[in-house]
Amino acid sequence: MDYQLATANSQSSLIRTSFFATSAVFIVTAFHHFYGAEVYNTPWRKDVGVNGGITLLICLIFLYLYNRYKKRIFLILYTLIDFIFFGLVIGIFEGLYNHVLKDILYFSGMPFDTWRHFFPAPTYETPNDFIFESTGVLQFFVAAALIYYLIRVYKMPAKATV
């Protein structure tokens, strides 16, 4: 009995940590996109922050439903939505491709026309603002931590989560 309680507590802590990481990705992403909207006069960037907030709320609802009813389907839906939006879309596409790779290729001296082919205007800005680029890169690293915790949540034994 003590083992089951300890396991349930550690799993509950793991789930909370995964949501904390999700919230961190959202905060960095929202700041990054609201900042970018102002600096580059691209108001459409704000949509990412708004949609991220809605997605964060949906994740929170699924965690509430999981905690209330102890049905694994709610935990799976939380993990799936969280992984797709905050892990893949924000972390891998936005953070890794849109900023890490973009900056590496730009600062490594890739010919500008070739670079622009992979990162066309007006969607992609040349790396000329430290705050915008550093928060863009930060999205990848925070999302990498999130993905790590989501994988651990996903691998939790089904019986212990009920």
Give the residue extent of every domain in the chain: 10-156
pLDDT of 162 over the 80 cut = no
Q: How many CB atoms lie within 10 A of CB 84?
A: 12
Residue 5 has pLDDT above 70, yes or no: no
Q: Which amino acid is at 60?
A: L
Backbone φ and ψ for 128, nearest 5 degrees, come out as -130, 10
**pLDDT > 70: what percent of the chain?**
93
Position with higher pLDDT, 5 vs 35: 35
Residue recorded with tokens 């973009």: 102
pTM, two decimals, is 0.91
pLDDT band at 1; cut points 50, 70, 90: very low
Distance, CA of 23 to CA of 68 (rounded, Å): 21
Residue 154, CA atoms < 13 Å, CB-side half-sphere = 13
Minimum mean pLDDT range among 16-30, 122-136, 148-162: 148-162
Burial 109-141 (b: 16+ CB within 10 A, else e): ebeeeebeeebeeeeebebeeeebbebbbbbbe
